Structures are given as structure tokens and as C-alpha cells.
A = this chain, B = another copy of it.
Amino acid sequence: MEPLTTLSVEALETRVTGILQTHGFSAPNAQAVAHVIVAGERDGCKSHGLYRLEGVLKVLKAGKASGVSIPVVHDTSGAILEVDAGGGYAPASFVAGKEALVQRTRELGLAALVIRDCLHFSALWHDVEALAEEGLASLSMCPSYAFVAPSGGTKPLFGTNPFAFGWPRRGPHPYVVDFATSVAARGEIELHRRAGKPLPEGWAIDAQGNPTTDPQAALEGAMLPFGGHKGSAIATMIELMAGAMLGEFMSREALDFMGGGDLLPRHGALVLAFDPARFAARSGRDPLAEGETLLTAIEDQGARLPSQRRFATRAGALARGITLSEAEWAMLGRLGQGPSAL
């Protein structure tokens, strides 16, 4: 059995922050990035945990992102707040814009946060969970890389375009859902390829646009959206709203700009926030109490609410620390040596 190392969440965050600074990140950027990476690891989201660190560092080394940019908040004086990330990593931009978004949402009932030209690598649940903790409902979406074909199409055009929704609850955790609008994550196709296992039906098409279960043919062809033409429409909506509407890259432009999908994508992001207290005010009803009626009815059927497993894993990590494998620990040691380790 592999020897294991256990650290507190704080200690791991400090360690990751230090590694990022060794690679040239400014302290605020390093802290914001380390926070979301360690939060992923803490919650058992391995695909958005420490695994992401090397990719975050590689894109910086490739000169395709900035680790020192200072996000600039621009207030359009309406319901839109913008943060110019300047090629920096998204977490610092969300931190920079969040308080203004919360205030504007409480003031107007709803508001939007636009993040421009950011390096996006984190799960979207961070954003909607943070807003739910302020009592706000929210949607978050962004394009990614053009790896997914439209329903009925033959070529990659959409990203795996994640979509998240958060709803505040009075208990310890909000309702948070966050998913890719592709049937599967690209990493899952790669894992099938390495394992020599065929893909499930319906995940992908080959370069000629025919259905395939061959992982290599899928990687050379295109992934498919979840839910057929309905999921494809949601992926389209995300390209239009979080790409075209903002005047930021859509998934194909992001791929062209980065010259391939090996590095993390650079594009914009859109967060929409809603104040249930404002929306419900004239009804005389308590929107959060109404929400509980629905959510407890889901659980009473034995159906799982999204994020419940994540919250349970988090509770364990906060109580007992995060346990790293020897390989993970060695990776941190290697990356801690600086850019030459990449």
C-alpha cells in the first residue's frame, strides 16, 4: 500500500499557494487559484483538484496566461458588472467582482458579472456556491474548447460548456449543480483510450460524423452533447450568451487562439445572480421555505441532490484533513522546484 500524507485544508492551500508563487504568480492570484484547487481536492472533485495544478502552471510557462494581472472591475452603472481579467486566471476575477455583484443584485433584483479574457480551469460550483451563501440564486456558464458536435452535426464546434445553478438554503449547504453539457468529460474518453476500453454508445462520433465507441476515433472526431437536441440547444445557448453576447471567445476561437487543446482555454465567463427575497417580495411567501418543500420532496423519494456527496467529503476533509497519495505528494515536491520541473 502507498504511504499517505495527511494535511489540513489550510496547510495544503498554503503549500499550493507557495508553489504557484515559485512559478511567478503574484500573491493574490496564487491565493485565489490555490483556494479553488484545494477546494476541489477537499470536496473529492479529483478532476478539479490537485490534478489541475500542473495544467495551470504549464499555460503560464507557455506565455499564454498571466499570473500577475490585477483584475479590474468596470461598473456599467446598470445591471452588468464586468471584470477585465487581462489574461489572468478566473478565480481572482470572481473574487474581485463578487462583492459588487452581490450588492447590485440586492439593489436591482438581478445582475450579471461578466469576466473578460480569463484563463478558466475551475469548476463553476465555486461561483454559485459563494453566491448562495449570500442568499442569492445564480447561474454560471462559459464556453471551453470546440470538442463537441451539435446534435445532428458531424464536426466539433461547441465546448463541453459547463453550466451551474445555485440556490440558497437555510441549512449548512446550498443546492448546487454543475455539469458539462457534453455527455461525458473529455478526460473520461482519454481514460477509456488508455484502458483500451470501448466507450458507451452515444458519447461520440468519428471524424466522418458516424457514431463510434472507439476512444481514439472519438478524440479525432467529436464528443456529443448530453440529452440529444435539447442538450445541444443548451450548449448553443452557452456559446451565444457567454461567448458572442459578451464579445468574448466562443469555443472554436478559444481553440484557434491557443493553437490546440493541450493548454487550458482562455475565454470569458458569465454569472447571473438573482435575489429571491426581491423576486418573492410581493407574493408574501418565503421563497427559501418554498424551495425546501421541493428539495426535501426530492430527497424523500430517495433521489440524491447534486453536490451532496461533495459536501460529505468536504466535512471529512475539514475534520480529518486531506490525505494525499505518495504520487500526489511527490508531484507537489516536483512542481515546487519551479518552472524547470514542467
By the criterion CB–CB under 8 Å, are A152 and B79 in contact?
no
Quick check: is A294 within 8 A (CB to CB) of the other chain? yes
Which of B79, B165, B236 makes the CB contact (< 8 A) with A298? B236
Nearest B residue to A241, CB-CB? B137
Which of B240, B248, B283, B306 makes the CB contact (< 8 A) with A233? B306
By the criterion CB–CB under 8 Å, are B244 and A287 in contact?
yes
Chain B positions within 8 Å of A80 at CB level: 108-110, 278-279
What sequence of 0s and 1s flags, for each residue 77-88 of chain A, a beta carbon within 8 Å of any chain B beta carbon? Answer: 011101000000
By the criterion CB–CB under 8 Å, are A279 and B114 in contact?
yes
| Pairs A–B under 8 Å by Cβ, sample size 15 | A78-B278, A80-B110, A110-B111, A112-B279, A152-B304, A153-B302, A157-B294, A167-B237, A177-B236, A179-B233, A227-B227, A236-B298, A244-B290, A247-B284, A272-B272
Chain B positions within 8 Å of A229 at CB level: 179, 306
By the criterion CB–CB under 8 Å, are A303 and B152 in contact?
yes
Nearest B residue to A143, CB-CB? B294
CB proximity of A41 to chain B, nearest CB, Å: 23
Chain B positions within 8 Å of A43 at CB level: none
CB proximity of A73 to chain B, nearest CB, Å: 12
By the criterion CB–CB under 8 Å, are B228 and A293 in contact?
no
Chain B positions within 8 Å of A335 at CB level: none
Question: How many copies of the chain does the oligomer comprise?
Answer: 2
Answer whether A79 and B109 are a contact pair too, CB < 8 Å, given A74-B282, A157-B298, A279-B114.
yes
CB proximity of A84 to chain B, nearest CB, Å: 8
By the criterion CB–CB under 8 Å, are B247 and A283 in contact?
yes
Chain B positions within 8 Å of A211 at CB level: none
Interface residues of A (CB under 8 A from B): 74, 76, 78-80, 82, 107-112, 114, 116, 137, 139, 149-155, 157, 165, 167, 175, 177, 179, 181, 209, 226-234, 236-237, 239-241, 243-248, 250, 252, 272, 274, 276, 278-288, 290-291, 293-294, 297-298, 301-304, 306
Which of B151, B272, B280 makes the CB contact (< 8 A) with A110? B272
Which of B246, B281, B284, B302 makes the CB contact (< 8 A) with A283? B246
Chain B positions within 8 Å of A209 at CB level: 301
CB proximity of A210 to chain B, nearest CB, Å: 13
